[in-house]
């Protein structure tokens, strides 16, 4: 599995965040300040000053939600959530095709995530695109949903043509560096949980869970 799409934030949380992001006196910065040299040439948006109180509150809320979601934890094997930013794209803004830098000063970037903070009906354009396979994938998710994907994938945000697109983006350092190994472990865990739900505990299933646990131990860095 290349990516995971999940509901993450409640509608109450999203509504409150969106209302606060509409305030006129927020410290929005040029988004190119957090992009590498090559990515900065295709990036046009604004990001809320990460030191601002609102940015910190949202980052903490999103980090806790990611760490609390069982499926995301199984998919990402989260060691650390870091470098969380709030992005604003007005008409004409977007982020061309790029790949995320492998590190920030806060940690390794194994997986990237985008939490949509605006309803799709409130803006046009702004599609998140991932280069997966020949056709790729496109996402215009409901407010509160998150897309988690390997940071090694080429991706872009198509230009917004109408309205304003707010999103929270950030990165996950995983206990398992390899996307291929994480996918293998995720499928093994999902299969074992499915068998447990369908047939209950068994000695054979205990062996599968033992193999999964020891595989995580072996593949972790």
How many angstroms separate the CA atoms of 168 and 191, rounded?
Answer: 31
pLDDT at 197: 96
Paired residues of 23 in beta bridges: none
pLDDT in tens, 160-190: 999 999 999 999 999 999 999 999 999 999 9
CA quadruple 51, 54, 60, 63: dihedral sign:
negative
CA count, 13 A, side-chain hemisphere, 40: 8
Indicate whether this model's pTM tops 0.85: yes
CA 33 to chain centre: 20
What strands, in cross-sheet order, belong to the sheet with 111-116?
Answer: 4-7, 145-150, 111-116, 165-174, 78-89, 46-48, 28-30
Specify the pLDDT at position 131.
93
Residue 35: predicted pLDDT = 86
Report DSSP letters for the chain, one per residue. ---EEEE-S-HHHHHHHHHHHT-TT--EEEGGGGS-HHHHTTEE-EEE-TTSHHHHHHHHHHHHHHHH-HHHHHHH-EEEEEEEEEEEE-TT-EEEEE---SEETTEE-SEEEEEE-S-GGGEEE--EEE--TTT-EEE-PPTTEEEEEETTS-EEEPPEEEE-EEEEEEEEEESS--HHHHHHHHHHHHHHHHHHHHH---HHHHHHHHHHHHHHHHH--
Under-50 pLDDT residues of the chain? none
| pLDDT in the model for residue 144 | 98
- From 46, 42, 71, select the one nearest 145 (Cα to Cα): 71
Answer whether 52's CB lies under 8 Å from 26's CB.
yes
- The residues spanned by each domain of the chain are 4-174, 179-219
Write the class of the CATH domain 4-174.
Answer: mainly beta
Residues 6+ apart with CB under 8 A from 67: 73, 78, 81
Contact 43, 97 (CB under 8 A): no
| CB 172 within 8 Å of CB 113 | yes
């Amino acid at each position: 599995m290349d990516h995971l799409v999940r509901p993450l934030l409640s509608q109450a949380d999203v509504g409150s965040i969106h209302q606060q992001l509409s305030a006129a006196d927020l410290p929005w910065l040029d988004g190119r300040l957090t992009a590498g040299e090559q990515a900065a040439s295709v990036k046009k948006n604004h990001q809320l000053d990460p030191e601002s109180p609102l940015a910190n509150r949202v980052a903490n809320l999103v980090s806790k939600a990611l760490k609390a979601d069982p499926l995301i934890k199984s998919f990402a094997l989260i060691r650390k959530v870091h470098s969380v930013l709030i992005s604003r794209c007005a008409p004409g803004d977007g982020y061309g095709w790029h790949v995320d830098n492998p590190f920030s000063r806060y940690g390794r970037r194994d997986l990237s995530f985008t939490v949509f903070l605006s309803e799709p009906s409130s803006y046009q354009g702004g599609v998140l695109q991932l280069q997966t396979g020949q056709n790729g994938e496109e996402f215009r998710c409901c407010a509160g949903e998150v897309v988690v994907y390997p940071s090694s994938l080429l991706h872009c945000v198509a230009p917004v043509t109408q309205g304003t697109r707010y999103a929270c983006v950030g990165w996950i350092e995983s206990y398992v560096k390899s996307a291929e190994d994480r996918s293998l472990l995720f499928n093994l865990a999902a299969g074992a949980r499915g068998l447990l739900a369908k047939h209950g505990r068994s000695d054979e299933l205990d062996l599968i869970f033992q193999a999964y646990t020891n595989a995580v131990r072996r593949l972790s860095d």
